[in-house]
Chains A and B, each alone.
Chain A
């Protein structure tokens, strides 16, 4: 930016120099300068005024009165041209040494009474340049004496020049100069690049990637841009007013305090932003809190928790990744996990396969799935929910500040640094730990089923369901009653290549040709699944309650009679293409056989969830 400015300036200095000759006196009034600029460059007064202000801000012209405000006033206030030694055109480095000498000189002249920011700078430079401090003082004294040799008016002019130079390059608080002291770049983006083979290779890669990008019609993309602009117009602090006041302009930090990350009562603008898109809601911590509250009421907060854990995995340190992935698996994905999330079989397969060699993005598919779930379903409900309406009602709309000039100066003097980011991060981690400690155990487990959401080909989370009257069973031992009850609302599924099927279906096949089946999760887990419908088998116990099913396919009895040990390899192969007419989803209840077996074994304790990649030994009856 500065380079572009300088480039413009170098072309302007020529015209300027030629122009300055026509200004007769060594100083001019602001209005004269503006008028002359408008005349010389054939621009209108407004533009001449901004151009003039830019000249002042850059240091080519300096005001004689009110030297700290670097802009041009269209009245009789006086300005003078800066001597070329102090011009910024040549981009000579502005050395701290020179500034130190200047401050020392000023110190001598004013006998120790410097302005506050000058004092601060002086102390800082004294500390950092201690080794050359003697030289600085010596040079300052000599320069002071040398300056005295000049005639009085010239001396005054020189002092003004020097002061103006340093106001531009070391602006006092409250002064805005045009010197953009940004990062020092190692390469100049405007310079011509040498055409090495490397350069051409980069161009080739860039164009190849451009070709590969998906295309969108310009009407669509422009429409999206327009929509974005209209939506965010009133929220942009550059384009519209910032309530109560923009801290960068007025040095008053109320705006930031009111919009802190974990503020109790958000502002109205903030709440409005949450309605723009789901991404906005999630990216604002306060919005996420609100959403979390809503989900807790709907008993589906495991989705958000899972999403947050995935984010944590993605952005966390590499050392903790493995444990995090395991933790997430145990908490969210495994069979019988305390906060089990509902994702489709294919995604689950991919995820668990990937978890064998966990990396940062291994949970991406599942996370996207859950994100879409929340976005399509929960988000809409949230916006209409009483939680959100309550928050919106309580949101505050602060009054606009009206500061006078004196107050603005006061504000500028009272500027203080904000909380250190280290402290903020610590607070964030503490809060996260607290939340993790209080994490609810979502009762998304067995013997519950969802209300039908026919348009979704996935399991949606547990929502308000009339059948929530069930007592929550322990993961290990579902009560057969619940299974029986569930069976009345079972879905038909088709299974293939199931080694257990002969056992299960044997007794069933006969009378239950039309029964509705409850399919156990365990069974699903063991079996390979294929698309389309799934066939549910009904436990022998549920004969009495069996409904009718219309889709029993004959199962080939090819499976070996002795059941091989359960292959841990096929996990979670739940298929989701549930035909639209199927209204109710199966329940993740324990396998009846297992229940039988476990009952015969005299009860089972809670089964430990073992991550599938940890051991490939077959388990008998344990998950």
Chain B
């Protein structure tokens, strides 16, 4: 009787964990996409200290989601067969949780295993993508250092004025679905990159998950049919319109004071 109860508990715990991981994955996606939006403005006329600060914050958040508190969690791996729920994992990051889930798979059924594998693959893809963006960002920050006033002259006028406020707000709205013990500070860019690379290789070596056994849950072209937040006016039309009435548009989006050198600087 107790064994049956224990297995039910295990199942419930695992489901809960998977749910949390999924939510964490969503959060990670959000954060990384915001990071990408910010990164595209690097080096252009919209670049500035505000942008860079926002990027650092976003990065830190992503770091928290991914890593959490590693030292706490090392013990969880040894608790596998003993306790169905990894209590020490509660504050751990997504990587650790997924590790737990997957290592725990001896007890789980096939579907559970599949779900865990899917989450694993998604997480790793997200990490790779984020790492790419981080590398680009670090390259660009290296190329366009803004330490001195005159450096602003080297920025490219790519047409974006300022748009990151909304993005920054979006980042701030992201919630990590578990408690975080804010003990360690987020690393700086280079260390972050190195840390992520190490994490990726470690994760890939640790768990032998066959990538291509995971299948997509939705068919192709499905996302087009989904109803999104608001109907979207075709941006293509907007782009054409902008071209035609370029003079007016520029006047509209660019306050007169910005014209001339102000646009660049």
Contact = CB atoms under 8 A, between A and B. Distances in A.
Interface of A: 17-18, 20-21, 23-27, 64-65, 78, 80-86, 90, 92-93, 95, 97-98, 104, 107-112, 122-123, 126, 130-161
A84 B156 contact: yes
A91 to B, nearest CB: 10
Contact of B246 (A27, A86, A110, A159): A27
Complex A-B, nearest 6 residue pairs according to Cβ-Cβ distance, in ascending order: A149-B166, A84-B43, A150-B163, A133-B216, A112-B224, A154-B163
Contact of B252 (A24, A131, A153, A155): A153
A131 B32 contact: no
Given A17-B155, A21-B261, 18 more contacts: A23-B157, A64-B246, A81-B159, A85-B39, A85-B140, A92-B136, A98-B129, A126-B220, A130-B212, A130-B216, A135-B121, A137-B218, A142-B29, A143-B37, A146-B37, A149-B37, A149-B170, A151-B166
B166 A80 contact: no
A553 B224 CA distance: 102
A81 B157 contact: yes
Interface of B: 25-26, 29-30, 32-34, 36-37, 39-46, 118, 121-122, 125-126, 128-129, 132, 135-136, 139-140, 143-144, 153-164, 166-167, 169-170, 211-218, 220-226, 228-230, 232, 234-236, 238-240, 242-243, 246, 249-250, 252-254, 259-261, 263-264
29 contacts: A23-B157, A24-B261, A25-B250, A81-B157, A84-B140, A85-B44, A85-B136, A109-B232, A110-B224, A112-B225, A126-B216, A131-B216, A132-B121, A140-B223, A142-B29, A143-B33, A143-B36, A145-B170, A149-B163, A149-B170, A150-B163, A151-B161, A151-B163, A153-B252, A154-B159, A156-B239, A158-B160, A158-B163, A160-B159
B235 A159 contact: yes
B40 A108 contact: no
B interface majority secondary structure: helix
Contacts of B246: 27, 64, 78
Nearest to B240: A65
A595 to B, nearest CB: 78
A25 B118 CA distance: 48
Given A130-B215, A134-B118, A146 B41 contact: no
B154 A123 contact: no
Nearest to A104: B223
B215 A92 contact: no
B126 A139 contact: yes
Contacts of B228: 108, 141, 144
A163 to B, nearest CB: 8
A63 to B, nearest CB: 10
Given A25-B263, A131-B215, A149-B169, A110 B157 contact: no
B239 A64 contact: yes
A137 B36 CA distance: 16
A131 to B, nearest CB: 4
Given A90-B136, A137-B218, A155 B126 contact: no
A82 B42 CA distance: 11
Given A108-B224, A131-B211, A81 B37 contact: no
Contact of B156 (A83, A90, A138, A139): A83
Given A65-B243, A84-B140, A157 B159 contact: yes
Interface centre among B121, B223, B228, B252, by most chain A C-beta atoms within 10 angstroms, is B223
B122 A138 contact: yes
B170 to A, nearest CB: 5
Contact of B125 (A65, A111, A135): A135
Given A92-B136, A134-B216, A141-B223, A160 B239 contact: yes
Given A64-B243, A137-B223, A97 B129 contact: yes
Contacts of A21: 153-155, 157, 261, 264
A161 B162 CA distance: 15
B44 A84 contact: yes
A64 B244 CA distance: 10
A135 B214 CA distance: 12
Interface centre among A17, A126, A140, A142, by most chain B C-beta atoms within 10 angstroms, is A142
Nearest to B128: A97
